[in-house]
A and B are shown apart, each in its own frame.
Chain A
Amino acid sequence: MKGLTQGQVFEVSFWLLFAIGAFAYTYSFNQDIEIYRYGAFGWPRAVILLIFLAAMFQFYEDVRFSKQLHEIHGITETDGDIDASEETEVPRTNHFRLAATLFVPVIYASLLELIGFYSLTPVFIAIFLYIAGERRWKRLIGVTVFIYVFILICFAKLLYVGLPTGNLHPFYDFSNWLLVIIR
């Protein structure tokens, strides 16, 4: 196990736990089906077994590869597509920026039902542009308005795609008012 990175250990652990958890869950639907011998659980269990085997083979390959590297060069493998060399310290603000990039859309999606697409989207666009590094206020506002109007014209006016209007009182009214104006 010498020479394996944390990422590799995490990966194999994830897959093994995933396979074990999924296999245990198949017992909740392991009833037989009269017309089909393998039931509802046959196919899932076969796939889960293959996941387990593939994870073990991947682990074997990681161990063998790190042994080879260690024997030849006396070094261990680094992880990921992006160079994560330990000598280069990634600034904390960049980690924060990345985390914000990943989770702001999730927060946006979770608020859509309440606030609605028409009210929430310009805020989302502006925040996302800011996180992406746009600091020129005129450009930030200009691009926000441009993208918002473009999406409204394309989808709300031309294609009549129904989008969430929101459940909360002022946002619902605003959405309907805007739709009347657009259409």
Chain B
Amino acid sequence: MEHFIAGSITLFSNPTSVLIFIAGLLGGMVFGAIPGVSMLTLAAILLPFTAQLTAQDGIMLFSVIYCSGVFGGAITAILFNIPGAPENAPTAFDGYPMTRKGQAGKAVGAAVMCSALGGTASALLMMVATAPIADWAISAFGPPEIFALVFFGLSVASSVGAKTLWKGWLSVLFGLMIAMVGLDPVGGVKRFDFGVAYLLAGIHFIPTILGVFAVSEVFIQAERRATGIYEAPKVNLDFPTFAEFWKLKFAVARSVVIGFFCGILPGIGATLAAFMGYSEAVRWAKDKTKFGKGELEGVVSSETANNAATGAAMIPLLALGLPGGALTAMMVGVFQMHDMEPGPLVFINSGDLVWVVFAAMFYANISIFFLGWLQTKTVVHLLRVPFHLLAPAILLMATVGAYAVRGLVIDIMVMFIAGIVGFFLRRSGYSVAGIVLGLILGKIGEQTFAQAMQMLHYELTGYLDRPIGLGLLIVGALTLIINGYRAVKGARI
């Protein structure tokens, strides 16, 4: 506790540090909301300038950007079905239907509260448990366990958002197919490139996500206008009540654990945390069919989990020097610019710096609550603008977002084609959530499967010595079998 107090005093006693804290908070929130641009662009722009700052201020800035950036993308995900970043995609699954039902204020308010809660809980856990958890996570979790986790996530994802289980599966498998385009992760063999150089680098998930979410949504609303059945969403500024939140206390607690656990794993991070949090909410629900149609628990689970991953992502970075994702990889750069190496010695040689960062992340998550409340009362009014006037702005923001990823015009074309494909798939009862999850987890899944098979000498019985992986595989398989049995036996009427 005394370390936390000392870190807080160090943070707030320096006006420069306070200004950097505020700039990181606001910048992360704004950039996080812009699809394709995201907090990573802001971090990349600021990286060279951190050489002018102290090591403490530089690391603190990036950690605050991480916290507020992960939250920032939730607003556009809920209001316009445009996730600011992949970790906000599950928020759109139920957040946007809530907007269509006139509950935008409630959805945004829930995202604000849960982002703050998840991030704060994660920051507290991070302060208490960094060293022991880092040791356990790195030794207990290898490619076999990560593959089992991906398998489990995909098995649950197939039951989300589609008209039937089989369409859910087809959506996930279609996403896995898209992820295979390019070079295979083991031998670098060209696959499904059709002789086109662009496809060798694979189809990037940002233009695809922008296409199947934002662009297809514009097309769907345009179709509704064309057939005369368009209904403008009602604007509602109600914040969720305490009673509504209290009913979801288990979902929040579960999502904090899931998010924290996923955040610790290097390379996995907030994206898988958000999808796993959402998937578990569906799995535990008594009535799964209400998800994807505007269920508050979906928004709560996703946003709690993705922010809970932020504190956890600092654990492998600070304790072991292993970056958990792109932003934490840039933080390694900040350390190196100041002649420091992240790892166990950071706690011994620069304990003050570590506790300033912990304190900054804690206060950043608390601040999200207040800033987010302001956003709830202001940004929601954008819904009053007629959709046909907003549509070109949405398409252009998505265009810039798709182009900003790699500077390729063809990414914009991929986005619009993904939008057309998403439009037809959604009309036919398929799940864009499943496609996105298959796309994002496909590469991780194949790579870890290959590594797992090599480690286990191609014998699945090797999982008997790995209880965590075995448990995840069994639960995933049971989920598939039970869902499949219900689908085959059950009738729709």
Contacts and interface: CB of A to CB of B under 8 A. Distances in A.
Interface of A: 7, 11, 15, 22, 25-26, 29, 31, 33, 35-40, 43-44, 47-48, 50-51, 54-55, 57-58, 61, 64-65, 68-69, 72, 79-82, 90, 94-95, 97-98, 101-102, 105-106, 108-110, 112-113, 117, 121, 124-125, 128-129, 131-134, 143-144, 147, 150-151, 155, 159-164
Interface of B: 37, 41, 45, 164, 166-167, 169-170, 173-174, 176-177, 180, 184, 186-187, 189-192, 215, 218-219, 222-227, 229, 388-389, 391-393, 395-397, 399-400, 403-404, 407, 409, 412-413, 415-417, 419-420, 423, 426-429, 446, 449-450, 453-454, 458, 484, 487-488, 491-493
A31 B187 CA distance: 10
Contacts, number: 176
Nearest to A131: B222
A121 B412 CA distance: 13
Given A82-B427, A125-B392, A132-B391, A58 B184 contact: no
A119 B423 CA distance: 28
B226 A151 contact: no
A116 B225 CA distance: 30
Contact of A133 (B191, B388, B400, B487): B388
Q: Choose among B173, B177, B215 the residue with the greatest number of A CB atoms under 10 Å from its CB.
A: B173
A37 to B, nearest CB: 6
Given A55-B170, A109-B413, A129 B446 contact: no
A40 B167 contact: no
Contacts of A164: 403, 409
Q: Tell me what chain B mostly uses at the interface: helix, strand, loop, or mixed.
A: helix
Given A33-B189, A101-B222, A134-B388, A106 B417 contact: yes
Q: Choose among B409, B417, B420, B491 the residue with the greatest number of A CB atoms under 10 Å from its CB.
A: B409
A133 B392 CA distance: 12
A168 B458 CA distance: 56
Contacts of B429: 81
A98 B223 CA distance: 6
A47 B173 contact: yes
A15 B449 contact: no
A50 B176 CA distance: 11
Nearest to B167: A58
Given A35-B186, A144-B392, A151-B393, 8 more contacts: A22-B192, A43-B450, A50-B169, A61-B164, A80-B427, A97-B222, A132-B389, A147-B392
Contact of A47 (B177, B389, B450, B488): B177
A118 B429 CA distance: 38
13 contacts: A29-B189, A38-B450, A43-B184, A50-B169, A54-B173, A81-B429, A97-B222, A105-B419, A125-B396, A132-B225, A143-B389, A144-B392, A159-B37
B191 A151 contact: no
Contact of A65 (B170, B189, B191, B491): B491
Closest 8 CB pairs of A and B: A33-B187, A40-B189, A58-B166, A132-B388, A40-B184, A101-B222, A54-B169, A94-B226
